[in-house]
């Protein structure tokens, strides 16, 4: 599909196109998890300058990584119904613009983190950028059906980034939050891949349902969801959270396991779509419960 820009859009419209390159809905969940990491890192309040600089810096670098992903996968995006409406396949922006936008916002984000947060957070954020934009997008995604499992490490980093931004350290609690997102990612993404399997096959991408079939993927979603339930109970048993979080986690896990069971035993594309959407709400509510529990006067 042509990438030629047919007409010069107004400034506001062009900025909207650049914003869409950064996948703002995905970035919003990344930033949310990073902010939770910041708030959990201290019993008190996070200094406002650090909170603002870290939030903006992480958001900018995450948006930069998303734009690089769009740039690298623009031909694949043009094939898939889910992604063909993005600015690059539609010819609304070109490759040079995308590269420049990514470099500008990514560089600005790293500079903010280095100058106003700390060098550790900057380097961790840069490593996360490389993990997603290069290792996952370029190497893992086109080569292995385990791409989302291995590549999920970069997507699980936001709470570690947030914790490092406040304390300059990466303690076990931060890595426990990492582990929750890491184990959550496969059932979240495979739910999407199940009802988009033909699109991934058409794009010649070796996603799990394409390589191993639907039934294997359905069982994998259920198995990972059970593992996720166990991992998410760990904060309570190690003293990181209290009874409020435990109660919320049990309810959310029961609901997620119910969705995964339906995918395994009574599959339909509608159920896979429902599970994918629920998984996003699940993670947001789980981390919100951790935050509320953190401030409860036990």
pLDDT in tens, 70-94: 999 999 999 998 899 999 999 999 9
Q: Most distant CA pair in the chain: distance in Å?
A: 62
Q: Which of 108, 142, 169 is the last residue of a domain?
A: 169
Separation CA 223–CA 161 (nearest Å): 28
Q: Average pLDDT of 140-155? A: 93
Is residue 157 assigned to a domain?
yes
Main-chain phi, psi angles of 57, to 5 degrees = -60, -45
Number of domains the chain is built from: 2
For position 12, what pLDDT does the model report? 85
Whether 3 is covered by a domain: the verdict is: no
> What average pLDDT does this structure show over 85-111?
95
Q: Give the pLDDT of residue 298.
A: 78
Residue 142 inside a domain? The answer is: yes
The domain that holds 198 is classified in CATH as 1.20.120
Distances (CA, A) of 142 to 24, 130, 139, 149, 210: 24, 16, 6, 14, 12
CA–CA separation, 280 vs 71, rounded Å?
Answer: 25
- Report the chain's mean pLDDT, rounded to a whole number: 94
pLDDT(104) > 80: yes
- Give how far Cα 91 sits from Cα of 95, 178, 287, Å: 9, 37, 38
CA gap 58, 163 in Å, rounded: 12
Is 194 a residue whose pLDDT tops 70?
yes
pLDDT at residue 1 in the model: 41
Residue 44: CB atoms within 10 A of its CB come to 6
85, 186: one domain? no
Same domain assignment for residues 196 and 287: yes
Asked whether the predicted pLDDT for residue 7 surpasses 70, the reply is no
- Which residue range forms the structural domain that includes residue 52? 9-169
| Within-domain flag for 137 | yes
Q: What pLDDT is attached to residue 11?
A: 82
Dump pLDDT digits (tens) for 12-66. Answer: 888 999 999 999 999 999 999 999 999 999 998 999 999 999 999 999 999 999 9
Torsion, CA 280, CA 281, CA 287, CA 293, rounded to 10:
-170
Calculated CA dihedral for residues 55, 22, 186, 51, nearest 10 degrees: 0
pLDDT for 9 equals 66
The whole-model pTM stands at 0.93
Are 137 and 183 members of one domain? no
Q: Which of 133, 154, 169 is the last residue of a domain?
A: 169
Where residue 117 sits, what CATH number does that domain have? 1.10.357.140
Alpha helices for the chain (secondary structure H): 11-21, 24-40, 48-72, 74-79, 95-116, 119-130, 147-155, 158-167, 172-195, 197-202, 208-211, 214-237, 243-265, 269-295
| pLDDT given at position 10 | 74
pLDDT at residue 8, rounded to an integer: 58
**Mean pLDDT of the 203-213 span:** 95
**What is the pLDDT confidence band of residue 6, given thresholds at 50, 70 and 90?**
very low
168: left (phi over 0), alpha (psi -120 to 50) or beta: left
Given a contact cutoff of 8 angstroms between Cβ atoms, the answer to whether 199 and 284 are in contact is no
Whether residues 233 and 128 share a domain: the answer is: no
């Amino acid at each position: 599909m042509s990438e030629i820009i047919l007409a010069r859009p107004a400034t506001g419209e062009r900025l909207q196109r650049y914003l869409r390159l950064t996948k703002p809905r995905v970035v919003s969940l990344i930033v949310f998890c990073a902010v939770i990491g910041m708030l959990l890192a201290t019993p008190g309040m996070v200094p406002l300058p650090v909170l603002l600089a870290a939030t903006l810096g992480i958001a900018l670098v995450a948006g930069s990584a998303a734009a690089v992903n769009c740039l690298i996968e623009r031909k694949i995006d043009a094939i898939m119904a889910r992604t063909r409406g993005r600015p690059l396949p539609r010819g609304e922006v070109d490759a040079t613009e995308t590269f420049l936008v990514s470099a500008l916002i990514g560089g600005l984000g790293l500079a903010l983190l280095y100058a106003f947060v700390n060098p550790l957070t900057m380097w961790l954020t840069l490593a996360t950028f490389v993990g997603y934009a290069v290792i996952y997008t370029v190497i893992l995604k086109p080569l292995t059906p385990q791409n989302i499992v291995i590549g999920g490490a970069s997507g699980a980093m936001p709470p570690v980034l947030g914790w490092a931004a406040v304390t300059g350290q990466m303690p076990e609690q931060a890595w426990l939050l990492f582990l929750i997102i890491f184990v959550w990612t496969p059932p979240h993404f495979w739910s999407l891949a199940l009802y988009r399997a033909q699109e991934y096959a058409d794009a010649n991408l070796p996603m799990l349902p394409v390589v191993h079939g639907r039934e294997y993927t359905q069982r994998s979603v259920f198995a990972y969801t059970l593992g996720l339930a166990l991992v998410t109970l760990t904060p309570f048993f190690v003293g990181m959270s209290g009874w409020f979080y435990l109660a919320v986690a049990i309810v959310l896990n029961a609901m997620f396991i119910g969705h995964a069971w339906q995918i395994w035993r009574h599959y339909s594309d509608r159920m896979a779509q429902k599970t994918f959407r629920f998984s996003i709400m699940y993670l947001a509510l789980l981390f919100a419960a951790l935050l509320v529990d953190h401030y409860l006067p036990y």
